Amino acid sequence: MLVSGREILKDALKNEYAVPAFNFANMENLQAIIEGAEELNSPVIIQTTQGAINYAGYEYLADLGKGAAQRSKVPVALHLDHGTDFEYHLKAIRLGWTSLMIDGSKYDFKTNVNMVKQIIKIARPLNISVEAELGVIGGKEDDNEIEYQIYTEDQEAVRFYNETKCDSLAIAVGTVHGVYNGEIKIDFDRIKNIKKEINIPLVLHGSSGIPDNMLIKAVESGINKVNFDTEVKIANFKAMNEFVKNNPGVYDIREIFKPCREAMKKVVMEKIKACKSMDRA
């Protein structure tokens, strides 16, 4: 069923687990997510970046996302990931997205606050959840690359929450978007401190490549939504490469995408387990 992000995150906050959020850009990608979530009886967030919308089109993604969610046995929220331009939020609201991220993290504190407040004014009466971001999570996200990080400060997070009353907050605690090159370090104490100060769902971005034990620790420290993209894409890429190498001359689109879908589903199921969201639907 299609539900608001508010509903999904409320339960995760109350019961101390995280809802996994996976990006999708086409049908097989989406099927892998929904099938994986259904098999483990987990709520799930399916999310689209502005880049995915540019690639597939609003209407196609709305039809795919809402259709899959409405037919699903598990609660599914359709989320706009890293929305930076209001026109995307407005169109997503009109087409039925049930959760939005307004990412003003590259702007100064006051501008970020004002951007969040503007979206909340429209989204709240419609029961659409609004995720904000404070601090800077570096790396490659969608079509943008940011080469630095600014960790989220707990007192700034308190001020930010008091001024915006956002539904959830993405925090910078050491993770980066895309592929990790060096050692992964997550500031678990920072997560705990922020959670102690503002008891709202906290969001971890850049979660591909993080070992399960660290993901579990992040969830135990207070994370209630975990975003995954790159790792699912890499699973698709590897499966496709392998298939094409082993089956030269096979051009049937269904044959090529079948192993890709399975490979993506496997990653989805692993992440659901690490988030402790299985049997929470």
From 11, 81, 143, 154, active-site residue: 81
Degrees, nearest 5: CA angle 126-204-257:
85
Ramachandran quadrant class, 164 (left: phi over 0; alpha: psi -120 to 50; beta: rest): alpha
Among 6, 79, 205, 276, binds Zn ion (CB under 5 A): 205
**Binding pattern to Zn ion, positions 219-248, x when CB under 5 A?**
--------x---------------------
State the binding partner of 42 from ligand G3H, Zn ion, none, CB within 5 to 8 A by kind.
none
Amino acid, single-letter form, for residue 93: I
What's the CA gap between 84 and 246, in Å, rounded?
42
Q: Of the ranges 110-118, 159-167, 197-205, 249-257, which one interacts with Zn ion (CB under 5 A)?
A: 197-205
Residue 152 interacts with ligand G3H (CB under 6 A)?
Answer: no
Residue 280 interacts with ligand G3H (CB under 6 A)?
Answer: no
Compute the least distance from the CB of residue 81 to ligand G3H, in Å: 5
User: For helices 86-95 and 109-123, what crossing angle results, to 10°?
Assistant: 20
Using alpha carbons, select from 17, 12, 77, 31 the residue that is nearest to residue 232. Answer: 31
Q: Of the ranges 152-160, 191-199, 228-236, 262-270, which one interacts with ligand G3H (CB under 6 A)?
A: 228-236
- Would you call 81 a catalytic residue per the annotation? yes
Among residues 120 and 204, whose Cβ is nearest to Zn ion? 204
User: For helices 154-164 and 188-197, what crossing angle results, to 10°?
Assistant: 40
Compute the least distance from the CB of residue 226 to ligand G3H, in Å: 9
Residue with tokens 């909340």: 120
Catalytic site positions: 81
